Each structure stands twice: as structure tokens, then as C-alpha cells.
Structure 1
Amino acid sequence: MKRRNLITYTTAAATSAVALPALSQTEPPQIKWRMTTSWPKSLDSVFGGVQRICDRVADMTDGRFTITPYQAGEIVGGLEVLDAVQQGTVECGHTASSYYKGKNPTLVFATTLPFGLTAQQQNAWLYHGGGLEAMQKVYADFNIINFPAGNSGVQMGGWFKQEIKTLADLNGLRMRIPGLGGDVMNKLGVNVQVLPGGEIYLALERGAIDATKWTGPYDDEKLGFYRAAKYYYYPGWWEPGATVDVLINLDAWNKLSTEYREIFQTAAYEANLNILAQYDFLNGEALPRLIEKGVQLRAFSSEIMQAAQKAALEVYEENASKDGSFKEVYQQWQKFREQVFNWNKVNELSFTQFSFNNPK
């Protein structure tokens, strides 16, 4: 009896041994996606961050899930990323949500608001303050899920061909500036235009616009704005911590395994932190180079800053009165902003004021 049992067990083990190699040879299906972006490849900061997302996804899946990034214009224009992802022309895209405020003004919260949150505060709101859930609810209406995937930090105030000393100097100025910052500048008399990054320099150089904002010294130097405009203003009150997003078509997202979704989110999270750190490093190196090239740094006057803040609050209230989605997110965001500002007044503001005024 024992001998027969032994034969049975041995036979079963042998059968299993034969079956196991066959199972191990079953590989997960190869997934190939395309990611369109709002950026030219020359911006190795933000487009490099896009490439990093794609590389990390491939690395963490042993090459079974690959994503090919495309610069603005290769598949669709830089301001058409949301449409391409929504329609399934591509599986995913990398862009700034504020570009699409005309589709739903609430989308601007995913990027930033004038006089809003810094990069660290924005991340706190998105990851822990309910911000990401609120944005994903809005994006679901477009058959899209979004994740933060980069941040510029506090931006510069832009390039101007002439000095801007008073509010009167803004009247009639033609400026490239998207998002709610554009709405605020419009209230201040500016003729607002929205152009993708790759088209800005020629418009500025040929006089189609008088001023432009982009991000900061490193990218701005790459795009050559200093050759077309002399005056470089600060601070970029319209985007104190601008988040860029990766957008994924929900149908494509739902076909991914749980493991691949987690991998994608991890890659986006890494890019969100890394792009911000890289910008702080690169901008610190680039600003002195621009000054050596004859760029004139200028601070916006107190008159302009106060008028802009007043106009920003009016823009918020106007949008909240017309759009229920905007109002819902605005009230939640406003509560978070008050809380984090009160905390950062105590810890960060006191430290930075002393340290920056006493560097040695």
C-alpha cells in the first residue's frame, strides 16, 4: 500500500515538474503605447521627464510595457493633447491642464492658480488634501484619468520688450499667457494670447507679441527668449507651483493589470518629484548666464502685484458663480490654502526671511 502511494506521489510530482516549465514560458502580452506631449524635445527638462516616465515603465516591466513619447506637433499640436487622449488617438499624453480651461475651468486647479499654492503645497493638496481625487473626478468626464507628473516651482514673471513700471504700461500689451493668469492679465488690459512652447520665440521675435511667460531661466534660455526681449520680470504670480500632468485614456487604463497601473503611477510620481528638483538645480545655474548676456531683471511693482491679486480673486468668484464644479473644488482648495498658508507662515516664511537676508 505504501509502495503504491509512493508511486502515485512520484507520478504526480513528475507530472507537475513537466507542467511547470510550460507555465513559466507564458509571458504577459506586450503592451505598446504612445504618449503625445505639449513640449518640444529641446526642453530636456520637461520632455526629458516624459522620457524618464517611459523608461521607468519599460524598466519595471522588463520591457513588456513600452511607451514612446512624441514632441508637440509630431502627432497633434501642443494644445491638443487632451483631445487626442480623450478620443483614443493616443493612449496617454503629457501637458498642462490649464491649457484646457475653455473645456472646463476647473481643470486649472490641476496645474495651479494665480497667487495659489507653491510646488510643495500643491503636492500636499494633490496627494493628501483631496486634490487629486477632485481632479480625477473632473477628468473622468473626458474619459481620462490624470496623475501629477512634474512641477516647475515658482516661475518667473516673463519676458517683456519694454519696461513695465505701472498698470498703465500693461494696457494693450500683447502677451502669451495661458490659464487663469491670462484671465487676470486680461482684466488688467492685456491682449492675451495662447501659444504652444515651440511657437513662442518666433511670435516674440517678429513682433506678433510684446511679451511672454514660460517657466524659468533654464527653459527660457533654451527657447532663446533673451534674444527677442530684454526685460525679465519676477515673480510669476500666476503660476507659483505649476504642475504638469500625464493624462491616460480611461479605456486604455482599464485594460491594464493592477501591477502595470501601479508601475505607471510610480513612474509618474518619480517624475513629479524629479522634474521639480531638476528645475531648481538648472534654474540656479541658468540665471547668472542670462544676466551675463545682458538680460535686465525687474520686479513687478507693488501696484501691479496688488492689482493682479485683486483681479485674481474676482476671476475665482466669477468662475465659481457660473460653474458648480469650479465652485466645489474652489471651496475645498481655499480651505486647504488657508490652512497650509497659516502653517508655512510659522515654519517656512520665518526661516527663509532670515536665511535669505543673512546668507553668511
Structure 2
Amino acid sequence: MKRRNILKAAAAGLAAAPLAISSTNAQAASKVRLRMQTYWGTESDEIHDQFLDDVKVASNKSLRIKRFRGSELVPNADMFQAVSKGTIDMCQGYAGYWPGQLDIASIEAGLPGAWTNYDEAQYIMESKGLIDLIREAYAEQGVHYLGPIMGGPFDLLTTKPVKSLDDLKNMKIRATPSVAKILEKFDIPTVYLPGGELYLALSTGTIDGVIYAGTNEYKAMKLYESAKYYTFLNMVNPGYTDQMLINKAKWDSMSDEHRRIIEMAYAKHARKMHTWMVSGSIDAGTSGLFEFSTLPAEDSARLRKAARVLWEEEAAKSPRNAKAIEIIAAAAKATGRG
């Protein structure tokens, strides 16, 4: 069996309906070339190259995507607007970069306390309809939301040991806007920096710590060379949610076959990316590069309590956000966290 047909058969298992595209149809389809940026650097080249290859092979090369690494075309925080305007066609981004540009962005990115494991997150997204509210919000901005890409751990890495939240009051921590709102309630100084600047910022003392991801990403970025103290925060797991976006006008102009190929390649990529981040963090945790500690239970509880105030703030932004928070709050209650 040719490799293209093997890929089609495997991809069909990721979707509700199988891909029905013949080689004749693929050859007849107009050639489409897309530019996609991710906020990731070289550390994710292999897994992103597989996504691009899946699209190329399944479409018989009639659909091709060229991937650019973080900030190569536009600043990472501008990717959503760039896709909306058609400056770039696609992105794999993180909505925590643009909370002021989309009402539901902070909720989509993974509010602290929103879920405790992958299955619960998928239940909230898929079964309870959070994904529909997110897709609606992006569509209003001329963007088609393909879906979430669940991340891995989302914890603290610092240049000095951390035993409590009080220790952080004398440090400057890199955090996304939504997490910064919570830390600032405890008088913890925060600053936002793109991922590509974290190594230099830590090595020069510009910042004292980061809340960016887990040991997998911290190891790949070599942040352990300046900061080896890893503190489990126990705020949310999966700790962050990426997504894949595509310009809606571009999406609407594509053939059904090409749209289906992208949907299935995205679904496969989302599952592989989550597994890569989680398993990579487990492996990196045994490398001896980090020293581990856990935030005291009472401090983690304080963070989650502060996050509930953030939930209320997010719900007040729009009727859509209010519906989203209702979904999250109902799930928390159903799992004994309400």
C-alpha cells in the first residue's frame, strides 16, 4: 500500500467520517500554498514537520504548508491579528498572548483551576460545548478555529529555590497576562516576554523566573543553565491550551477535500503534540537537570481561590464568556471542586 493511502487510512480513524478523496480528485484540485507560524522554536521541528508532511502526502502535494518558527514573520503576540488580516494564513498559537483582542481568549488558554486532567479538559471542550463558543468568537474576527491543542505541565522555574508564594515577592516572574493578574494579587512582580527571549532574560538576571511550560520545554530551551529550581504550582492541568487557527476567507475558499485533510492532520497533530509535551516532561524530569519542590498546599489553594475571582471577571466581559464560565463551573462542581 502506498504511503499516501496508509496516511489516509490512519487519519480516517481520528475523525467521525473517513476521508473520501481519490488521487484523481487530489490531482485535479487547485494547488494551495499556505504560510503558518508557530510560537515554537527549533525544539518542535520534528513534530511540526510531521504535520506538514501529513498534509502534503494526503493531498498528493496539491496542498502544502510552509511553517515559520516563533516571531519569524510577526511577533508571537500578533499572530491572531495577522491571521485575521490574512498577513499569514495559519498559526499555532496560545490565546494567553491576546486576552485584550478576543473576549474569550483567557478562558480558551486555560484558566487556573478550570480543569484537573486531560479528560476533564476534553469533556469541557467537546461534550459541554466550550469549543463552539470559542469557534464563534474567532469567526467574528475572520478566523476559523480548528480546535485546541492541550499542552502539558505549566509550572514555575526560578533561579533560586521557592518554598512559598512569599518567596516570589522579591522576584520578577515572566507570566502571561491572565496568570499575571493572579500573581499580582499576592504582590508578586510580573513581566511578559516572548518565549524566544527567556534564555537571555534569565541568564542576564532581567527576570528571576518563568511560568511558561514544563520540564520538556525548559530543557529544550536550555533554561536550566540559569534556572534549575522547578516548583509545582498545582493550578491547572493541562496547564495551557494552544490552538490552530486559519484565516476564514482562506478556509472558505478551499475545497472540501483540502479542508478535510487539514482537519484530520490537525487532529493527529493535537494528540501527538500533547503526548510529546507530557512524556517529554516526564523524561526531562529524570535528567538530573532540575531540582523539584511543590508549592505548599495552602498556597496552591490560595492561587485557585484567586483564580475564581478571575473567573468572575472573565464572565462579566460578555454573555458568551458568562456561558463559558457556567460550563467550567458546572464541571468543577460535578467533579467535587465546586
Q: TM-score, normalised by structure 2?
A: 0.86
Q: For residue 25 of structure 1, report the CA deviation from its aligned partner.
A: 11
Q: For residue 40 of structure 1, report the CA deviation from its aligned partner.
A: 1.1
2:89 pairs, out of 71, 88, 91, with 91
Q: TM-score, normalised by structure 1?
A: 0.81
Cα distance in 1 for partners of 2:280, 2:317 equals 41
Cα distance in 2 for partners of 1:143, 1:48 equals 30
Q: Which runs of 4+ in 1 moved over 6 A?
A: 23-26
Identity %: 21
Q: For residue 270 of structure 1, report the CA deviation from its aligned partner.
A: 0.8
Cα distance in 1 for partners of 2:256, 2:263 equals 11
2:303 matches 1:308:
yes
Check 1:25–1:78 CA distance in 2 against 1; reply closer, same or farther (3 A cut). closer
Match of 2:33 in 1: 32
1:260 pairs, out of 254, 258, 261, with 258
Q: For residue 105 of structure 1, report the CA deviation from its aligned partner.
A: 4.2
Residue type of the partner of 2:303? Answer: A
CA displacement 1:148-194 (0-9 Å, x = unmatched): 353223x1422112222233222253111114222111211122222
SS in 1 for 2:36: strand
Match of 1:7 in 2: none
Residue type of the partner of 1:37? Answer: T
Residue type of the partner of 1:50? Answer: H
Match of 2:209 in 1: 211
For structure 1, the residue ranges without an aligned partner over 5 or more in a row are 1-22, 345-360
Match of 1:56 in 2: 54
Asked if the contact 2:79–2:93 (Cα under 8 Å) also holds between the matched residues in 1, the reply is yes
CA displacement 1:6-29 (0-9 Å, x = unmatched): xxxxxxxxxxxxxxxxx9997211
Asked if the contact 1:114–1:240 (Cα under 8 Å) also holds between the matched residues in 2, the reply is no
Cα distance in 2 for partners of 1:72, 1:24 equals 34
Q: For residue 324 of structure 1, report the CA deviation from its aligned partner.
A: 3.2
Match of 1:193 in 2: 191
Residue type of the partner of 1:144? Answer: V
Asked if the contact 1:166–1:303 (Cα under 8 Å) also holds between the matched residues in 2, the reply is no
Asked if the contact 2:103–2:317 (Cα under 8 Å) also holds between the matched residues in 1, the reply is no
Cα distance in 2 for partners of 1:86, 1:25 equals 28
SS in 1 for 2:37: strand
Asked if the contact 1:132–1:147 (Cα under 8 Å) also holds between the matched residues in 2, the reply is no
Cα distance in 2 for partners of 1:156, 1:53 equals 24
Cα distance in 2 for partners of 1:26, 1:222 equals 39
Cα distance in 2 for partners of 1:203, 1:241 equals 23
Cα distance in 2 for partners of 1:230, 1:132 equals 36
Q: For residue 58 of structure 1, report the CA deviation from its aligned partner.
A: 1.2
Q: For residue 280 of structure 1, report the CA deviation from its aligned partner.
A: 2.8
CA displacement 1:98-118 (0-9 Å, x = unmatched): 211121341122221101222
The size of the alignment, in residue pairs, is 313
CA displacement 1:55-77 (0-9 Å, x = unmatched): 21111111100000000122112
For structure 2, the residue ranges without an aligned partner over 5 or more in a row are 1-23
SS in 2 for 1:208: coil
Check 1:261–1:163 CA distance in 2 against 1; reply closer, same or farther (3 A cut). same
Asked if the contact 1:175–1:193 (Cα under 8 Å) also holds between the matched residues in 2, the reply is yes
Asked if the contact 1:149–1:271 (Cα under 8 Å) also holds between the matched residues in 2, the reply is no
Q: For residue 127 of structure 1, report the CA deviation from its aligned partner.
A: 2.3
Match of 1:150 in 2: 149
Check 1:115–1:25 CA distance in 2 against 1; reply closer, same or farther (3 A cut). closer
Which has the higher mean CA deviation after the structures are superposed, 166-175 or 90-99? Answer: 166-175
What are the residue-to-residue correspondences of 1:1-360 with 2, within 5 Å?
27-41=28-42, 43-44=43-44, 47-117=45-115, 118-148=117-147, 150-153=149-152, 155-238=153-236, 240-289=238-287, 291=288, 293=289, 295-339=290-334, 341-342=335-336
